[in-house]
Chain A
Amino acid sequence: MPRVLIVGASLGGLRAAEALRDAGFHGAISSVGAEAHPPYNRPPLSKDVLLGNATSDGVLAELAFPRKARLGEIDWRLGMSVAAVDLAQGEARLADGSRIHFDALIVATGLRPRRLQLTGATADRFVLRTLPDALALRARLVPGARIAIIGGGFIGCEVAASARRRGCATTVIEPLIVPMQRALGQEFGAAMQALHEAAGIRFRTGRQVTGFEVDVSDRLHAVRLDDDSLVEADLAVEAVGSQPNTEWLAGNGFDLDDGILCDHRMAAIGHDRVAAVGDVARFPCLLFDDVPRRVEHWSIPGLTARRAAGHVARQLGVAVPDAPFAPLPTFWSDQLGLRIQCAGLPGLADRVGLLSGSLGPDSMRRDGAVMGYWRKDRQVGVAAIGVAPQRFINFQADLVRALQNCSL
């Protein structure tokens, strides 16, 4: 009986296992995941979990993905990482030294937070990716605590909003001109910064962190910036992006430059019996162009899992009908009681313009605002703040039509 090994047991790995069964694969599935918990939903970690008081078990009861009956038997190996794979032998070596033989491999190991290459303040520096990360950070979000959030992307801004609501003195440090600039552009980022500032969150933009100032016990008292100024802080959150977990794939001839390079079938280049899903995969989104990119949005694991599983099942002799594959990246963020919704790849744009509303804080809260993003004369994205779902669905449908009507 053929065996598919899925490495990574979060959303992407789980959806890949489900999709293998849906595709008609009845062979063995082994699922190896470094985290001790069964697959759970991560987006609430920076919001509901930081704002709540549930225990680890309580959070998991809320956030664990339901186990679907049609998954059938799966050989789960949780709390275990893969040390290395040997594709020529079709064998994976696990961290405990045991081995799993496989006929096909699905890579779903995702990302880990990038860390600043600075020393000191070990006990006061936090990241946010996993449930234990969130619970450790939450324990320090007490009223009056001074928190420096390094990185003003979505995670950084969501953590800032949560920390402020818990009564922390909150400062966001961001090297670009405004927060969320890379994802939403300067106009929208500036509007969001104004909202955060109105809630009492301070910003130091255009600044990098150069050091952690500590006392004799290595406890943090300030973060040093590149203009030599200090931001007083009892704790720091490093929200400076992520890096793909691909080290275990080394030595097999993969292109691991930034995630694992895949083709339009989600098959790893050079290895037809290896596919990848989620944010560890660098693949072409043909709605936009043929440039392979990693996409770090929640919607991507589900969409790519179906594609990858279909390809793998076909390689193992299952007749799987070919389905169209044109995944549209979508994402959302909840900050300060406002919903940000986004579709497409606004980061590709060379021109930005308002489609509806205006960007003043009061008018955004009252009527919402919608921004369009264009590359050359072709729309590549849409983002909205404070807009009702049906209205955003209509803007998203317009975007899909615009993308489909343009040839590459």
Chain B
Amino acid sequence: MKICVDLEKCQSHGQCAIAAPELFSFDAEGKLRWVKEPPVEQQATAEAAADACPEQAITIGT
């Protein structure tokens, strides 16, 4: 499974980091960090983060 974030769309709302803190976080400079290729068991968590994004900037691929 792959997580892609369109950083042009991302407005740092942080809803992904609330929905899936194990996959998304912000570094000290406020830049979004995420697990690019998490194990497939975390698919539902990743989908929840993508759904929660107000800008719909996150896509989950295979």
Contacts and interface: CB of A to CB of B under 8 A. Distances in A.
B30 A388 contact: yes
Q: How large is the interface on A (under 10, 10 to 19, 20 to 34, 35 or more residues)?
A: 20 to 34
Nearest to B56: A41
A65 B53 CA distance: 11
Given A41-B56, A66-B59, A389 B51 contact: no
Given A66-B59, A388-B26, A393 B17 contact: yes
Given A66-B59, A389-B26, A390-B26, A299 B52 contact: yes
Given A66-B56, A389-B12, A302 B30 contact: no
Contacts of A339: 11, 13
A97 B54 CA distance: 37
B56 A389 contact: no
A43 B54 contact: yes
B14 A390 contact: yes
B14 A393 contact: yes
A389 B54 contact: no
B13 A332 contact: yes
Interface string A45-86: 000000000000000000101100000000000000000000
Contacts of A41: 54-56
Contacts of A396: 18
Interface string B36-55: 00000000100000011011
Nearest to A328: B18
Contacts of A154: none
Nearest to B59: A66
A66 B51 CA distance: 10
A274 to B, nearest CB: 24
Interface in A301-341: 302, 330, 332, 334, 339, 341
Contacts of B52: 299, 302
A329 B22 CA distance: 22
A282 interface: no
Nearest to B13: A332
A332 B26 CA distance: 18
B54 A332 contact: yes
Contacts of A265: none
Contacts of B15: 299, 330
Most chain A CB atoms below 10 A, which of B25, B52, B54: B54
B9 to A, nearest CB: 9
Nearest to B51: A302
A389 B59 contact: no
Contacts of A392: 14
A390 B17 CA distance: 9
A267 B15 CA distance: 27
A25 to B, nearest CB: 16
8 contacts: A15-B51, A41-B54, A41-B55, A41-B56, A390-B30, A393-B17, A393-B26, A396-B18
Interface of A: 15, 22, 41, 43-44, 63, 65-66, 298-299, 302, 330, 332, 334, 339, 341, 388-390, 392-393, 396
The 5 closest A-B pairs by CB, nearest first: A389-B14, A390-B26, A389-B12, A388-B30, A393-B14
Interface of B: 11-15, 17-18, 25-26, 30, 44, 51-52, 54-56, 59
Given A41-B56, A393-B18, 9 more contacts: A15-B51, A66-B56, A302-B51, A302-B52, A334-B11, A341-B13, A388-B30, A390-B14, A393-B26
